[in-house]
Amino acid sequence: MGKKCNAPPECVPDYSKDEAYLKTVIPTRIALFESIKGQQLPHRQSISGNPIKYSSFTIPLNYSGMIILRNGSVKDGKKWISTPLDIAKGISKDWGENALISKVNGVLWDMLRPLEGDCEPKLFKFDSDEGRDTFWHSSAHILGQALEIEYGCKLCIGPCTTRGEGFYYDAFYGDLGLNEDHFKQIASGAAKAVGEKQPFDRIEVTRGQALEMFSENKFKIEIINELPDDKTITVYRCGPLVDLCRGPHIPNTSFVKAFACLKASSAYWRGNRERESLQRVYGISYPDQKSLKDYIARLEEAKKYDHRELGKTQELFFFHPLSPGSCVFLPHGARIYNKLVEFIRNQYWKRGYQEIEKQEFGLKPMNCPGHCLIFDHRVRSYRELPLRLADFGVLHRNEASGALSGLTRVRRFQQDDAHIFCREAQIKDEVKNALEFISSTYEIFGFTFDLKLSMRPDKYLGDLETWEKAEADLTEALNEFKKPWEINEGDGAFHGPKIDISVSDALNRKFQCGTLQLDFQLPSRFNLAYSAEDEAKKERPVMIHRAILGSVERMLAILLEHYKGKWPFWLSPRQAIVCPVSEKSEPYALQVKDQIHEAGFYVDVDTSDRKIQKKIREAQLAQYNYILVVGEKETEAGTVSVRVRDTRDLRDESIEGLLKFFRDEVAAFR
């Protein structure tokens, strides 16, 4: 088990053909789990039964926050006996049957895990982030069970996906390569687990017990050995699967009424190409079949509007093997790219940002250090703060070749990166201003968005008092912003708390693009300072990292799919096309084209010998926003017949009226 095997395939045990793994390793692991569980029960029973009180309990209300309930049917419980499920059943039959997870005094808690003392529980169904993440994490265990039983693989990690839909499990299979042909067998194993209504049992183990339990799996051993000494190690069991996991989980496997495998791909252990090659199976699950059918339908819809295919069809960009991960924008793609950058730059002018002139010296992965150097290149005064620096400089990151994916994951990109240097007293106002900037931008794009305040992680830099002050400032700013937001415990950056912004597109997919991060550490590491009112006194600025588009490349891809290739006029690379009815009208058509071009709009003219209906059809397929038909009548009157991209409606318009209409469309971001 110690070394990676580079010998021929026959040196790798093929557990899909050998029943030894199923007959020895799994039963031994289960026996050890049950033994430890049995040893812990007497202790729990000896301290159980004492009354505990629920100071309050909360359930979500219509996505808009939490409502505190006190209900006579919910009675205070008993220590080490009562569970969150008892509370759920006391609320209503619906909650008793559909509550998936609880949060007890801020800690996520299994519904069947006994409560250990007085507490404030919160309950969540599938319609919450906590509920969905737990549901998909538990589904990953069901997937892992099917994979281990069917193929005898060595399980590695099985989380819900970071994109917020579904889950995956990485495992080592030796020489076996999984593909769609295996999905039916995997789904059958998952269905068996669901049908058995397997509870998710939890135990706490010592490091030694964990090492013994997973002695046959070097990947789990590596994880266990890297856990900090003060970390509580937990193990979960559902049916034959015993897995190292911090949890929590849904009550039992029967909650997963709909399950499907989506795809299989290769992956490296720990994301390191020098390590073992693994197989990753992606899955999706729901509490009902209709939701799964709707999801599959959305996937099929999304495939039709994949930005990589639309990029080819609309001749926007391409990639070349000579420079993998570096997008080459074609003229029409460059138009959109430049419009996005121009839009943000215009906003910078209005909102008091100073843009830094581009000056490239080498490859850089981020703009933050450079902005610190700019702040520090001369003595700064408190009168200059807040100082808002913005940068569209080119960034490079060495993404693994297997992770490259169109415009969504590249090696060369630009960000609408900005850093705000301010005093501690200015944090709240600067965060509110940035939130308003984000909100107005996403409204223009037609995005809705969610806000999460990510709090101090386990490993953080700086002192606790500074962190608590920063978290309080962000909390106050979010409250005054008056949009719903949630707390994301322990998910802040190591250098400071942050606000994560997830946008939802027209296909109801979530993407994280914008971010707001407080940073007390970088100013300290660069020894940044400014003169206070008392010029003899120096104070340290606070740094706010801020992005709205994020990567311009990635945002372009998201928008291309969001609009399904039908760009709004203000952002469109093909705003209008003039279509003469016949050769007689071509001189006038060219004149119209020149007038529109001189007014600053993207316009083409179709002087081919095709029939007018064919020209119109081709223009519609090319996604021109407006098709301007000109014939003898229009030539004599000095007008154009305007046809909108997706309708048959026609209207006559003078050139002056048309240009005014175009300007109004751009001004309104339509």
Which CATH number do you get for residue 61? 3.10.20.30
pLDDT of res. 646 = 83
Q: Could you say which of 141, 237, 371, 419 is catalytic?
A: 419
Q: Is the pLDDT of residue 72 over 50?
A: no
Helix or strand or coil: residue 104? strand
Q: Check which CATH number belongs to the domain holding 660 and give it.
A: 3.40.50.800
Q: Which residues of 228-241 are buried (b: 16+ CB within 10 A; e: fewer)?
A: eeeeebbbbbbbbb
- Catalytic residue check, 498: yes
Which tops the pLDDT comparison, 62 or 621? 621
pLDDT of res. 58 = 53
Around 489, how many Cα atoms within 13 Å sit in the side-chain half-sphere?
Answer: 7
Which band of pLDDT confidence, cut at 50, 70 and 90, is reported for residue 508? confident
Which band of pLDDT confidence, cut at 50, 70 and 90, is reported for residue 13? very low
- Catalytic residue check, 419: yes
* Whether residues 458 and 366 fall in one domain: yes
* Whether residues 134 and 228 fall in one domain: yes
Cα 293 to chain centroid distance, Å, stands at: 22
Which band of pLDDT confidence, cut at 50, 70 and 90, is reported for residue 492? confident
How is residue 72 annotated by DSSP? T
* Whether residues 106 and 162 fall in one domain: no
Which band of pLDDT confidence, cut at 50, 70 and 90, is reported for residue 361? very low
Percentage of the chain exceeding pLDDT 70: 87
pLDDT of res. 524 = 86
Q: Is the pLDDT of residue 640 over 90?
A: yes
Residue 502 domain flag:
yes
Lowest mean pLDDT among 286-290, 402-406, 573-577: 402-406
Which band of pLDDT confidence, cut at 50, 70 and 90, is reported for residue 71? very low
Average pLDDT over residues 308-314: 87
Average pLDDT over residues 125-152: 94
Residue 390 domain flag:
yes
* Whether residues 513 and 657 fall in one domain: no
Q: Could you say which of 182, 371, 545, 643 is catalytic?
A: 545
Q: Please choose, from the candidates 262, 261, 561, 270, the residue with its C-alpha nearest in 3D space to the C-alpha of residue 405.
A: 561
Average pLDDT over residues 27-49: 83
Q: Final residue of a domain: which of 302, 328, 344?
A: 302
* Whether residues 292 and 333 fall in one domain: no
Q: How many domains, in total, are found in the chain? A: 4
> Which is it for the CA torsion 209, 228, 142, 2, positive or negative?
negative
Q: Distance between CA 589 and CA 578 in Å, rounded?
A: 6
Q: Could you say which of 498, 554, 593, 615 is catalytic?
A: 498
Which band of pLDDT confidence, cut at 50, 70 and 90, is reported for residue 628? very high
Which band of pLDDT confidence, cut at 50, 70 and 90, is reported for residue 365? low
Q: Distance between CA 514 and CA 508 in Å, rounded?
A: 17
Average pLDDT over residues 192-212: 95
* Mean per-residue pLDDT over the chain, rounded: 85
* Whether residues 73 and 176 fall in one domain: no
* Whether residues 89 and 192 fall in one domain: no
* Whether residues 321 and 408 fall in one domain: yes
Bridge partners for 279 per DSSP: 171, 266
Residue 2 domain flag:
no
pLDDT of res. 4 = 35
Range of the domain at 72: 48-125
Q: Check which CATH number belongs to the domain holding 378 and give it.
A: 3.30.930.10
pLDDT of res. 551 = 84
Q: Give per-residue pLDDT as tens, 401-433.
A: 555 566 666 566 678 888 999 998 899 999 999
Q: Could you say which of 368, 422, 513, 579 is catalytic?
A: 368
Residue 45 CB-density burial (10 A; 0-12 exposed, 13-18 middle, 19+ buried): exposed
pLDDT of res. 619 = 95
> Which is it for the CA torsion 79, 81, 85, 87, positive or negative?
negative
Average pLDDT over residues 150-176: 88
Which tops the pLDDT comparison, 324 or 161? 161
Q: Distance between CA 314 and CA 572 in Å, rounded?
A: 11
Q: Is the pLDDT of residue 40 over 90?
A: no
- Catalytic residue check, 368: yes
- Catalytic residue check, 289: no
How is residue 656 annotated by DSSP? H
- DSSP labels, 211-272: HHHTTT-HHHHHHHHHS-TTPPEEEEEETTEEEE------SBGGG--EEEEEEEEEEEGGG-
Query: What is the 3 state secondary structure string of 146-204?
Result: HHHHHHCCEECCCCECCCCCCEEEEEECCCCCCCHHHHHHHHHHHHHHHHCCCECEEEE
- Catalytic residue check, 491: no
How is residue 312 annotated by DSSP? H
Cα 242 to chain centroid distance, Å, stands at: 29
pLDDT of res. 406 = 64
pLDDT of res. 411 = 62
Under 8 Å between Cβ of 329 and 339: no
pLDDT of res. 463 = 80
Q: Is the pLDDT of residue 143 over 70?
A: yes
pLDDT of res. 429 = 92
Cα 472 to chain centroid distance, Å, stands at: 25
* Whether residues 279 and 342 fall in one domain: no
pLDDT of res. 222 = 96
Q: Final residue of a domain: which of 561, 596, 619?
A: 561
Residue 534 domain flag:
yes
Q: Which residues contact 82 (CB under 8 A, 6 or more apart)?
A: 52, 114, 115
Residue 344 domain flag:
yes
* Whether residues 73 and 200 fall in one domain: no
Q: Could you say which of 170, 391, 417, 500 is catalytic?
A: 417
Residue 437 domain flag:
yes
Average pLDDT over residues 245-260: 95
Cα 316 to chain centroid distance, Å, stands at: 25
What tokens does 558 get? 């998201």
Residue 42 domain flag:
no
pLDDT of res. 503 = 87
pLDDT of res. 120 = 80
Q: Could you say which of 37, 192, 351, 397 is catalytic?
A: 397
Q: Could you say which of 198, 209, 414, 415 is catalytic?
A: 415
Around 340, how many Cα atoms within 13 Å sit in the side-chain half-sphere?
Answer: 26
Q: Final residue of a domain: which of 561, 586, 604?
A: 561
* Whether residues 174 and 258 fall in one domain: yes
Residue 372 CB-density burial (10 A; 0-12 exposed, 13-18 middle, 19+ buried): buried
Q: Give per-residue pLDDT as tens, 532-568.
A: 988 778 999 999 998 898 888 888 989 999 999 999 9
Residue 3 domain flag:
no
* Whether residues 172 and 141 fall in one domain: yes
pTM of the full predicted structure?
0.74
Q: Distance between CA 548 and CA 346 in Å, rounded?
A: 14
Average pLDDT over residues 611-620: 94
pLDDT of res. 75 = 61
Lowest mean pLDDT among 21-35, 99-113, 215-229, 457-471: 457-471
pLDDT of res. 367 = 67
Under 8 Å between Cβ of 474 and 499: yes
- Catalytic residue check, 70: no
